[in-house]
Structure formats: structure tokens, C-alpha cells
Structure 1
Amino acid sequence: MNLLINYIKGFLSRSGSYVISATILARVFSFIASWLALKFIENDELGVVLFAYNIVIFLLPISGFGLNQSLIRYGALLKTEEEKNSLFLYVLKKGVLASLLLVFLLIIGSFFITFKFENTQVYLIILSFLIIPTFVFEIIRAQFRLQHNNKSFAYTEFIHSIILLISILLLSYFFKEMGYAIALLVTPLATSILFINKLNINFKSTIKTTIATFSFWKYGFFASLSNVVTQLLFVIDILLIGYLLEDTEMITNYRYISLIPFSLLFLPRVFIATDFVTFTEKIYDKNYIVNYIKSYVLFFVFASVFLVLFCWLFSGTILGLLDKSFIQFTETFLILMFGITGIYILRGLFGNLLSSIGKANTNYYIASFGLLLNIISNYYLIPKYGIKGAAITSALLMWLTGILSAVLFWYLYKKLLLKKL
């Protein structure tokens, strides 16, 4: 029990309460902003903007060629603030150029695609520029974490959500769908402008970083690819349900039944976002890492048991709040709840520990393997069990990829420590 208490105290001492509060509030404000957009904009027009936006969202993880991922991992290994600031300036310059290249390629590519909906290309071109301010926003957040300033990191999340809410309220009301697209674009830009000076970095500094080697770029590239493939893992079920069942109602049912389980995945992300820099700095201290793993796993075992038990007892009530017709899919809901515990206990932790030892490529291979198994399994289970089959596949893969992450981490970590001796 002392292990659990010390873990929670450590999390709170690193301003974890600010991070978790800001994350929850951001989700609430984002929901309100989406609701406002529905009130001010016709559904068919809003759908066109969202279609273009989803294309851009899929590419956001590779903005800056993933250099924001490299910054947080390699920056944590640097000893001085001067070195970390120098690395930030390098990532800012190179990452913006890489993001500009992606924007250019996306715009050029849009001229070779025949879009089904009118004005899709216009919105895609506008929203493609979202790649640049989003990258800058992410590296500012990463730098706050490197400075162990999780309070400011949390504020970036909170202020971003406030600006999003206000901009969507005003711009959607006056300029409809075009205003909504502009609101999405200006939100990370405005937030970045507000916070970049709070980093206390001399932007005229001429000190060059020595850590930005090929491995640095390779790490960021594979980390970003891993995020893209992981996104696909959550999307592929919906796509295959539509393709194999040819029933749009089943797509809607699965989308809403999975809404609560997948939304709850924010919890391990909050803990990892708060702690990643700390355990990466101490990655060669085996005793610290082992104790951290024990503490984390213990905490999320308790959290998982509580959530599964709660949902098992009140699943009918929970699903009924969404729609009474969803109660018939209680088994599917509980299977997904069991599945996310695999991410809670194993995948969330060991996937990030793999990143902390520089093995982002291993995460990519695990996610790709999971994606392949997802497609194969769903082709068999969805026609046989319907959306329950998709839930079974997802739940099994959450646990399987978690176990693979744990096994490979321990294997690679032992090799890393031996190499260090």
C-alpha cells in the first residue's frame, strides 16, 4: 500500500493534478464546441469541413517528421538547460521546414484527388496549414515538460480548449462552416503565441546542438509512424464493420458503445505525460525504473478492477443514458471495457518505456503487427458475431500488444544496461 501511496504523491508533486484537471476540462470544452458547431452550421456543410479535417488529423502525428517526439525523449537525456534550449531551437527550425513540406505535398496531392463533396478541396487546403501551428504548439508543450514545468504544460491544454471554444462560438456564428475551419486553424496558433515567450529561451542563441544525429531523426520518424498506425487500430473496426456488415446502423451502434471505453484511455496518458521526462532522465537507474513499474501497475490494476466492476454493475444504466436501444449491446460494451485494461496496465506504460530507451521503431512494429491481426481477425469475427466480434478483436489486441510491449521492453532494457556497463 505504501508503494501505491508514494506513487500518487509523486504524481501530485509533479503537478499531476493540474494535468488531469486540464485534460478533463479540455474534453468538456471540446464537446461544447462541437455542440455549438452543430447548432450554428448545417449538418451537410459541417460534414464537408469535418471530412477534410479528419484527413489532416490523420497526418498531424507526422508533422515536423515527428521531431517533437525526438525533442521530449532526447531532451530528457540532456543535463543542462542550455543544451535543452539549443535542441528546442534546432527542432523548431527544422520541424517548421518539414511541416511546410508536408503542407505543400498535401496541397499538391489535393489536385489529384476527385472529392465526392463540393468544397472539400478548399477546406483541405485551408486546414492543411494546421500542421505548422500544431507542431509548434506540441514542441512548446514538450519543452515545458523538459523544464519539469507540468503546471504550464497543463495550462497550455486548458487555454487551448478555451480559445477553441470561444473561436468556434464567434466564427461559426458569423461565418458558418468557413468560420469553423478558421477557428480550428487559429486555435493552436494563438495558444503558441501566448506561451512561447514563457519558455524563457534566447531565440538569437547561436549554440549548436550535437545530439541531432541520424538516430535523432529516425526516432522521431518511427514515433510518428507508430502514432499513425495506432490511430488506424481504433479506426479500422468502424471501417470493417461498414464494409463487412453493410449496415450503417451497426456503425453508429459500435461508434457510441465504444465512446466511453475509448474516452477513458485519457487516464494513463495523463500519468505518462506527467512522468515521461522524469523516468527517461533516470532510465539507467534500474531500481528506480523497477519501482516505478511496480507502482504504476499496482495503481492501474486497482483502477481497472474498479472500472470493470462499476461498468458490469451499471452497464444498462450507462448505455441507457446514451440511448435505450444500446442496452442490448451490453456484452460488447463490457468486452471493450475489459480490453482497455490491457492498455491501462501494460501497453500505456511499456509502450512509453520503449520510447524512453529509444526504441520507437519497436512500438511501430508492434502497432503494425496489431493492425495486421486486427484486419485478419475482424474478417472472421465480424461476419460471425457482428459488432461483438469487432469488440473481441480490439480487446484481445489491446492485451496482446501490451504483453508484447512488456516482454520486448525487458529484453531490450537488459541489453541497454549491459551495454552501459
Structure 2
Amino acid sequence: MNSLISYISSFIKRAGSYIFLATLVSRVFSFLASWIALQLLQPKPLGNVLYAWNFIVFLTPLVGLGLHQSYIRYGALLKSDEEKKQLLNYIIRNGIIGSVIMTLLVLVFSYLYSFQTTEINNYLYILSLVFVPIFLFETIKVRARLEHQNKRFALLEITYNVILIVAVFSLSFYGKTTGYAFSFVLTPLLTCLFFYQQLFANTTTNQKPHFVDFEFWKYGFFGGLSNVVTLLLFAIDILLIGAILKDPEQVTIYRYLTLIPFSLLFLPRVFITTDFVAFTEKIGNANYIRKYIKGYLLLFTLISLLICLTFYFSGIFFLALFDASFTKYNQNFLILTVGICGILMLRGLYGNLLSSIGQVKVNFYITSVAIIVNYIANQQLIPLYGIKGAAITTACLMWMTGVATLVCFHFLYKKFLLSLK
């Protein structure tokens, strides 16, 4: 119990409560922005914008070729403020170039590939401009975390979502769907303008930092790829249900069944966002890391038990909030809930610890294997059990990937500690 109290106390001291509050506010504001768009725009053209935006979202983890992810890991290991400033300038220069390349690639793709309607191509032209602003915004957030300014990080998140609501309302009202598409580009851009000073750092030299090498670039790129395949892992169930069952209603039901369990994934993100820099700075201290793991596991074991008990006794109530007909899928809902606990307890922690020791590529490999297993298993289980088969596959893979990250971390961490001697 002392470990749990100490863990929560450290989380609060690092302004974790601000990040928690900012995350909740951001989710509410994001939902409100979506609701506003639905009220102001016609469903069909709105759907075309969202289709194009989902394509862009799939690529956003790779903005700046993932350099902002290298920035947080390598920046946390640096002791000198001068080196951190040099790294920031290097990240900004090269990340902008990488993001511009992504924009050009999407523009070329949009020009060459014909979607079912030219409107989607036109929206992709607009939305391709978002990569540079998103990269700069992510970099500003990383700098706040590296400087242990989690309050500033929380302010960044809230500012972004306030601007999003204003942009969505005003641009959708006056510019309809085109304005709505531009709101996605202008929101991170305007947020960066509010915090533009965080994009600059005065240094004695603008030369490439001496520690930047191929491994530095590879870390960021694999970090981006890992996030891309994670998005695909969560999306593949929907795609396979639609392809195998050919029943849009079952796709809709499954999407709503996953809505509540998947929304709980913000919990480990809040803690890891708060603590990643702190435990990366001390990653060579085995006692500290063991203490951190113990505190995290105690907390999220209790949270997972509470979630399972709540949904076991009240799952039908929550499903009825969507539609009374959904209650007959309560068992599927519980299966997904148990699966989510595998991420809450294991993968959320050990996946980030792997990143902290520079083994982000292992996360990519584990998730890639999971996608293959998901495809093979669902090809067998969905025809037999319908969406319940998809729920079983997803739940099992959540625990399997969690256990895989646990085993890989403990094995690789021993090697990492030996490399420090």
C-alpha cells in the first residue's frame, strides 16, 4: 500500500492531475466540436471530409518522420541545457522538411488516385497542409514535458481544443465543408502561434548535435510506425467484420460495443504522459524502475478490477444508453472489457518502458505480429461466432501483446543495464 501511495503522490507532484483534467476537458471539447459540425453540415459531404481526415490521421504519427518522438527520449537523457537547445533546433529544422515531404506525397497521391467522389480528393489537398502544424504542435508539447512543465502541457491541450471548437463553428458556418476541412489545419497552426516562443532556443551553435546518428533517426521512425500499426490493429476488426459478415448493422453494433472500453485507454496515457520523462531520466536506476513498475501495477490492477466489476453488474445499463437492442451483446461487451485490462495493466506500461530504453522497434514488431494473428484468427472466428469472435480475438491479443512487452522489456532491460557498466 505504501508503494501505491508513493506512486500517486509522485504523480500529483509532477502535475499529473492537470494532465488528467486537460485530457478530460479535451475529450469533451472534441466531442462538442464533432457535434457542432454535425449540426451545421449535411451528413453526406461531412462524411467525405471525415473520410479524408481519417486517411490523414492514419499518417500523423509519422509527421516529421517521427523526430518529435526521438526528441522526447533522447532529450530526457541529456544533462546539459545547451545540448537540449541544440537538439530542439535540429528537430525543428529537419522535422519541418520531413513534414513537407509528407505533404507533397499526399498531394501527389490525391492527384493520381481517384476516389468515388472528387470532393474527397479536394479535401485531401487541404488536409495535407496539416502535417507541418501538427509536427510543430507535438514538438512544443514534448518540450513542455522535457522541462517538467506538465501544467504548460495541459494548457497546450486545452488551448488546442478551445481553438478547435471556435474554428469548427466559425469556418463550418461560413465555409461549410471546405471551412470544416480548413479548421483541422488552422487549429494546430493557431495554437503554435500562441506558443511560438517555445519553438526557438538560443544556442552557441546550430551544428548537428554530436549524439545524433542513424539510431536516433531510426528510433523516431519506428516510433511513428509503431503508432501507425497500433491504429491499424484497432481498425482491422471493423474492416474484417464488414468484409466477412457483409452486414453494416453488425459493424455499427461492434463499433458501439468498443466505444466505452476503448475510451478507458486514456487512463494509462495520462500517467505515462506525466511520467515518461521522469522515468527515462532515471532509466539506468534499476531500483527506481522496479519501484515505479510496482506502483503502476498496483494502481492499474485495482482500476482494472473496479472496471470489470462495474461493467459486470452494470454493463446492460451502459449498453442501453446507446440502444436497448444492444443489451443482448452484453457478453461481447464484457469480453472486450477484460481485454482492455491487458493494455491498462501491461502494454501501456511496458510498451513505454521499451521505448525508454531505445527499443521502440520491439513495439513495432509485436504489434505487427498481432495484426497478422488478428487477421488469421478473425478469418476463423468471425464466420463461426460473428462479432463475438472478433471480441474474443481482440481481447486475447490485448493480453498477448501486453505479456509480450513485459517479457521483452525484462529481457532487454538486463542487457541495457549491462551496457551502462
Normalising by structure 1, we get a TM-score of 0.98
- Once the two structures are superposed, the pairs formed by residues 20-99 of structure 1 within 5 Å of their partners are 20-99=20-99
Aligned to 1:418: 418
Partner of 1:289: 289
Tell which deviates more after alignment, 208-217 or 177-186: 208-217
1:166 aligned residue: 166
CA apart distance, 1:118: 3.1
1:375 and 1:342 map into 2 onto residues whose CA distance is: 20
C-alpha distance in 2, partners of 1:199/1:172? 30
After TM superposition, list the pairs within 5 Å mapping 1:2-401 onto structure 2.
2-198=2-198, 201-202=201-202, 206=206, 208-401=208-401
Alpha-carbon offset, residue 119 of structure 1: 1.1
Question: Distance in 2 between the 1:257 and 1:204 partners?
Answer: 55
Once the two structures are superposed, residues 267-303 of structure 1 have per-residue CA deviations (whole angstroms, 9 ceiling, x without a partner) of: 0011001000000000000000000000000100000
Tell me, in whole angstroms, the C-alpha distance in 2 between the residues paired with 1:139 and 1:409.
27
Counterpart residue type for residue 91 of structure 2: V
Alpha-carbon deviations, 1:300-324, whole Å to 9, x = none?
A: 0000000110011101110011111
Deviations 1:57-94 (A, max 9, x none): 11101111100110000000000222111101100000
Cα distance in 2, alignment partners of residues 187 and 40 from structure 1: 18
Over residues 325-365 of structure 1, what are the superposed CA-to-partner deviations in whole Å (9 max), with x where a residue is unaligned? 11111011111110010001100000000000000111100
- Structure-1 separation of matches of 2:106 and 2:212: 27
Give yes or no for the alignment of 1:407 onto 2:407: yes
Q: Secondary structure at the match of 2:112?
A: coil
- Secondary structure at 1:111's aligned position in 2? helix
Separation in structure 2 between the aligned mates of residue 129 and residue 31 of structure 1, nearest angstrom:
23
Q: Is the 8 A contact 2:89 2:200 kept in 1?
A: no
| Counterparts in 2 of 1:252 and 1:409: CA distance versus 1, 3 Å | same
Letter of the 1:9 partner, please give it. Answer: S
Q: CA 1:107–1:414 in 2, change beyond 3 Å: closer, same or farther?
A: same
Tell me how far 1:201 sits from its aligned partner: 2.5
Structure 1 position 117, deviation (Å): 2.1
CA distance in 2: counterparts of 1:39 and 1:418, whole angstroms: 59
Distance in 1 (alpha carbons) for counterparts of 2:173 and 2:367:
41
Unaligned runs of 5+ in 1: none
2:143/2:198 contact within 8 Å kept: no
Matched-pair contact (CA < 8 Å) for 1:69–1:223? yes
Q: Tell me, in whole angstroms, the C-alpha distance in 2 between the residues paired with 1:208 and 1:240.
A: 46
Q: Aligned residues: percent identity?
A: 50
Aligned length: 421
Equivalent residues of 2:36, 2:169 under 8 A apart: yes
Q: 1:282 to 1:174 in 2, by over 3 A?
A: same
Runs of 4+ in 1 over 4 A off after TM superposition: none
Query: Is contact 2:136-2:199 (8 Å) kept?
Result: no
Contact 2:140 / 2:198 at 8 angstroms: preserved in 1? no
SS in 1 for 2:209: coil
AA of the residue aligned to 1:123: Y
1:171 deviation in Å? Answer: 0.9
> Is the 2:86–2:203 contact (alpha carbons within 8 Å) kept by the matching residues of 1?
no
After superposition, give the CA deviation of every residue in 1:121-143 in whole Å (9 maximum; x if it has no partner): 11001101111100110011001
Q: Distance in 1 between matches of 2:262 and 2:70?
A: 26
Structure 2: runs of 5 or more not aligned? none
For residues 236-267 of structure 1, what are the alpha-carbon distances to aligned partners after superposition, in whole Å with 9 as ceiling and x for unaligned?
Answer: 00000000000000000001110011111000
Q: Distance in 2 between matches of 1:201 and 1:89?
A: 7
* Cα separation, 2, equivalents of 1:147 and 1:92: 17
CA distance in 2, matches of 1:323, 1:86: 55
- SS of aligned partner of 1:217: helix
Shift of 1:375: 0.4
Looking at structure 1, the residues matched to 178 and 236 of structure 2 have their Cα atoms a distance apart, in angstroms, of 30
- d(CA) in 2 for partners of 1:65, 1:226: 12
Whole-angstrom CA distance in 2 between matches of 1:205 and 1:321: 59
* Distance of 1:157 and 1:234 partners within structure 2: 24
The one-letter amino acid of 1:196's match is Y
Per-residue CA deviations over 1:162-214 (Å, capped at 9, x if unaligned) read 00011101111111101111111100011111113146722795354112111
Q: Is the 8 A contact 1:144 1:199 kept in 2?
A: no
User: What is the alpha-carbon distance in structure 1 between the residues aligned to residue 206 and residue 64 of structure 2?
Assistant: 21
Secondary structure, counterpart of 2:118 in structure 1:
coil
CA distance in 1, matches of 2:252, 2:48: 19
What's the C-alpha RMSD, in Å, of the aligned pairs?
Answer: 1.1
Could you tell me which amino acid in structure 1 is paired with residue 277 of structure 2? V
